[in-house]
Amino acid sequence: MTAEMNLTHAECAERARTISLRSQRVELDLSGAPDPAQRTFRAVSTVTFGATTDETWIDIVADSVIAATLNGTPLDVSTYDGARLVIAGLEAENELRVEADCVYSVTGEGLHRFTDPEDDNTYLYTHFEPTDSRRLYPVFEQPDLKAEFTFVVTAPQDWEILSGQPEVGRTTADGCATVTFAPTPPLSSYITAVAAGPYHRVESTWSVERADGSRQEIPLTVLCRRTMVPHFDADDVLTVTHQGLDFFDRHFGFPYPWGKYDQIFVPEYNIGAMENPGLVTFTEQYLHRGTSTRAQRQGRASTVMHEMAHMWFGDLVTMRWWDGLWLKESFADLMGYHVTSAATQYADGWVRFAADRKQFAYRQDQLPSTHPIVAVIDDVEAAQQNFDGITYAKGAAALKQLMAYVGQEPFFAGSRDYFARHAFGNTEVGDLMECLERASGRDLETWSQAWLETAGISELTPVPEVGADGHLTRLVIEQDARDPLRDDAPVERPHRLVLGLYRLKDEVLTRTRTIELDVTGARTEVPQAVGEAVDLILVNDDDLTYAKVRFDKVSLRHALEHTTTISEPLSRAIVWSSLWNATRDAVLPVGDYVRGALAQLSSETHPALAATVLTTLTTAIEDYTPVADRDAARSDLVRTATTSLAAAESGSDLQIVWARALVRATASCRDGVAAVRGLLDGTAVPEGLRVDQELRWAALAALTAQDDTTEEELAAELAQDATMGGRTAHVRASSGRPGADAKARVWEAMTTDTSLTNDRLRAMVAGFTEPASSHDRQGYAEAYLDSLTSWWSGRTIVMATVLARGLFPRGDLASGQGPEEHEVLVRVEQWLRDHESAPAALRRIVIEEADGLLRALRAQAAA
């Protein structure tokens, strides 16, 4: 039989209607994990449940199902198709026992196995979201079938053996330990977790004594693999953890419900982190092998807070189905920034949110695949694709607007009511809105419809009228808000925002007045501004709402020349973001943006903001600038990076930012080769700059893209850094070598070698797509389109997505050619017509990538 890996909302809703889950015991034998020849492990799952139907199925993705019994009677396991086992003959109350041999993963899905090349130690960890717990054990794989899970794990006795609940029993035999963990509270399967291996651990305790006399004490542990200990900033992680638990205990009013709080940093992780209650997993990329900037540590703190918020939003109260994904992710994204700014040393967290995180939302919200925050999710493949900028960043921005709209205290009061009413249950959008309405006294139905149930971005534009004396005689804010999913029908979105008015004096833009107001409808008069003299009008100055902000002509000119003179980093972030949005929309010619950014960036004092603008500047040059102008822009960027690096304060974060920018720019421009060589050999290293291993590998990758290294040089560097990170960096650098033969070899390896790990595949894709060798990648469009469906059917969804997104063919506009006439777009449109029955998730990837190319070509045409 052919495995049907997809799960539809309709069939899962029917299963939830007929099945009442009680408890589940999961027994795992991982004793053979250190032996690479053992590709499978034994999993035994015992489920108790009620039923009002005669037949259902249990989900399991395994090498084989060995046996199954229902209420003591053996079942015919020949019905197993690779993803589902049919269960017939159900009674009112049932006990199902299924025994299977499941497969160790190298793709980060299910139970991932990693062997450290430095010391040959083996490490295991799980990742299940949205539907991969079925790769570890037989399970009813949907969020609204919660159970009390008891995990029993056998593994080498000298390993750390972990799950989401505390250990309650242990026996040893033949060098292995069998550990029994306490039953979980009612839990969805996708947030169960197991980890095992010789992890290094650091312990602490969080405790609280509350005003009502209650007291709580929670054991804390942070873990990493042994060879990462030199880079493990456990004290900083634990400090942030204490601060977060203090905040959430005060504001959420529901005691932490999961018994313990472990945080484990793991290799080859597919995402940033996952909120498994009691055992949160993080990518090792948060353990910085090189010099870390404050912005990098702040990013880690925000992620810690994001996952901690999930202990309530998502874990304690869970969406009923994946169309409620925002009920956890939007709130966690908001709390990640809010709590980091309110409770830690990183009080400027909202700067990165405005400049960087919201761009994630703006990009997604302008794609053909845009959707409301509350989306319609028909199946789990669609759910996988909806972990996107709308669900995370737009949802967080909308909730930030809601917090401003109802007030911060009513917002948290409504959250407390939500937890109290729905603890350990499943909810939908109306359940939360009812709680917030009770707390705030506001009718939120209109707000919810406008913000959560429509797609698209509001565009806010100031329209000033100025008298002969240079003062405003009238100011109107125009709003253009349309839903692209409803034939561009107008949407009435209310915005609570701050309007900033600025004057230019002695070449410095100074904010002279702020006006807080509600913007509603298509036009909002601002009578408070009449009589003011202004040189720049900044709508949404404190970034309270979610909207694209435009400039009037005078404001635009001053923004392109004087943004870095504005004193408040958050205000500068909004200006930079607005300029970039206008460039992406081909409203602002890309050349104006490139020249304005290059002229000002050396004066940008906020390192995280400088890094974000450098990233958008690179995209502007490599994708949006016409080919004829691109080399000159590349040279200008290398020159700016070189002079800014030389001028940066010794040992500062800005020095690191500019060193990384110089290296990155050199990958596309030979002008930087000598300077990057100087960093590598030590002959031209600015005082205070540490050329760490991460920077060395980045430099070698850039030089390889210019064909300025040898394989022997890369091998020698690998011999000095034979770590997992070093090996991945070596693959990345080697895959970036230009030349048709070199690219052909990388293409063959990426697309045929199914043994590649997730990190290794990503590294090869990154090298293959290096901008400097773009001409060597021409001609792969047909191979890409011919391979898409086989990738999707023959790989896991994670690995297929890496290929489908990463290898999408690029192109530049030819003279006299219209953007829609580009041959790649013509071929893609034909593929879409020929593959109307292809999986919707795959078609969505192709449509989104094609739209990105079309946007770039339109910007080239408008330059």
Q: How many CB atoms lie within 10 A of CB 235?
A: 11
β-pair type (148-156, 176-181): antiparallel
pLDDT tens digits for 777-799? 778 999 999 999 999 999 999 99
Q: pLDDT category, 588, cuts 50, 70, 90?
A: very high
Residue 234: pLDDT above 60? yes
User: What helix, strand, coil percent values describe the chain, rounded to 5?
Assistant: 45, 25, 30
pLDDT tens digits for 519-578? 999 999 999 999 999 999 999 999 999 999 999 999 999 999 999 999 999 999 999 999
- The whole-angstrom separation of Cα 235 and Cα 254 is 26
Residue 845: pLDDT above 50? yes
Mean pLDDT for 500-518 is: 97
Which sign does the torsion angle of CA 424, 429, 431, 433 carry?
Answer: positive
SS3 626: coil
Map out the domains of the chain as residue ranges. Answer: 1-106+129-181, 318-451, 460-567, 778-863
Q: How many CB atoms lie within 10 A of CB 178?
A: 19
Region of poorest pLDDT, from 253-257, 372-376, 668-672: 372-376
Cα torsion 126, 131, 133, 135 to 10°: value is -90
In this predicted structure, what is the pLDDT of residue 381? Answer: 86
β-pair type (318-319, 426-427): parallel
Angle, vertex CA 319, rays to CA 401 and CA 303, nearest 5: 60
In whole angstroms, what separates CA 479 from the centre of its chain?
30
Residue type, 91: E
- The whole-angstrom separation of Cα 44 and Cα 56 is 19
Higher pLDDT, 811 or 16: 16
pLDDT tens digits for 162-220? 999 999 999 999 999 999 999 999 999 999 999 999 999 999 999 999 999 999 999 99
91 is catalytic: no
Classify the phi-psi angles of 739: left when phi > 0, otherwise alpha if psi is within -120 to 50, otherwise beta.
Answer: left
Q: How many CB atoms lie within 10 A of CB 568?
A: 15
In this predicted structure, what is the pLDDT of residue 714? Answer: 98
Residue 265: pLDDT above 90? yes
Contact call for residues 29 and 42 (beta carbons, < 8 A): yes
DSSP 428: -
pLDDT tens digits for 274-316? 999 999 999 999 999 989 999 999 999 999 999 999 999 999 9
Assign domain 318-451 to a CATH class. mainly alpha
- Strands lying side by side in the sheet with 273-274: 200-209, 215-224, 261-266, 279-283, 273-274
β-pair type (93-103, 160-163): unpaired
Instruction: State the first-to-last Cα distance of the chain, in angstroms, to the nearest integer.
Output: 55
Closest C-alpha among 433, 353, 352 to residue 393 = 353
- The answer for residues whose C-beta is within 8 angstroms of residue 220's C-beta and 6 or more apart is 203, 204, 205, 206, 238, 241, 242, 260, 261, 262, 263
pLDDT tens digits for 21-46? 999 999 999 999 999 999 999 999 99
Closest C-alpha among 817, 814, 816, 805 to residue 850 = 805
pLDDT tens digits for 69-88? 999 999 999 999 999 999 99
The per-residue pLDDT of the chain, averaged, comes to 96
- The whole-angstrom separation of Cα 456 and Cα 493 is 11
Which sign does the torsion angle of CA 266, 270, 272, 275 carry?
Answer: negative
For residue 91, what are the β-bridge partners? Answer: none
Please tell me the total number of residues recorded for the chain in this structure: 863
Contact call for residues 503 and 533 (beta carbons, < 8 A): yes
pLDDT tens digits for 380-431? 988 888 889 999 999 999 999 999 889 999 999 999 999 999 999 999 999 9
CA–CA distance from 331 to each of 159, 298, 393, 756 (Å)? 36, 19, 10, 35
In this predicted structure, what is the pLDDT of residue 770? Answer: 85
For residue 74, what are the β-bridge partners? Answer: 69
Q: pLDDT category, 773, cuts 50, 70, 90?
A: low
Rg (CA), the chain: 28
Q: pLDDT category, 2, cuts 50, 70, 90?
A: very low
Q: pLDDT category, 15, cuts 50, 70, 90?
A: very high
Which tokens belong to 447? 């707000």
Tokens 């804010």 belong to 477
Tokens 């029994």 belong to 180
pLDDT tens digits for 43-74? 999 999 999 999 999 999 999 999 999 999 99
pLDDT tens digits for 353-368? 999 999 999 999 999 9
In this predicted structure, what is the pLDDT of residue 4? Answer: 75
For domain 1-106+129-181, say whether CATH 2.60.40.1730 is its number: yes
Contact call for residues 418 and 404 (beta carbons, < 8 A): no
Per-residue H/E/C for 505-519: ECCEEEEEEEEEEEE
Catalytic, out of 129, 307, 381, 848: 307
pLDDT tens digits for 686-737? 999 999 999 999 999 999 999 999 999 999 999 999 999 999 999 999 999 9
In this predicted structure, what is the pLDDT of residue 5? Answer: 87
Residue 850: pLDDT above 50? yes
In this predicted structure, what is the pLDDT of residue 556? Answer: 98
Higher pLDDT, 176 or 773: 176
Which tokens belong to 752? 């045929």
With 0-12 / 13-18 / 19 or more C-beta atoms within 10 angstroms meaning exposed / middle / buried, residue 662 is buried
**Helix or strand run (H / E) with residue 50:** strand 40-51
β-pair type (459-466, 548-549): parallel
In this predicted structure, what is the pLDDT of residue 3? Answer: 63
Contact call for residues 196 and 124 (beta carbons, < 8 A): yes
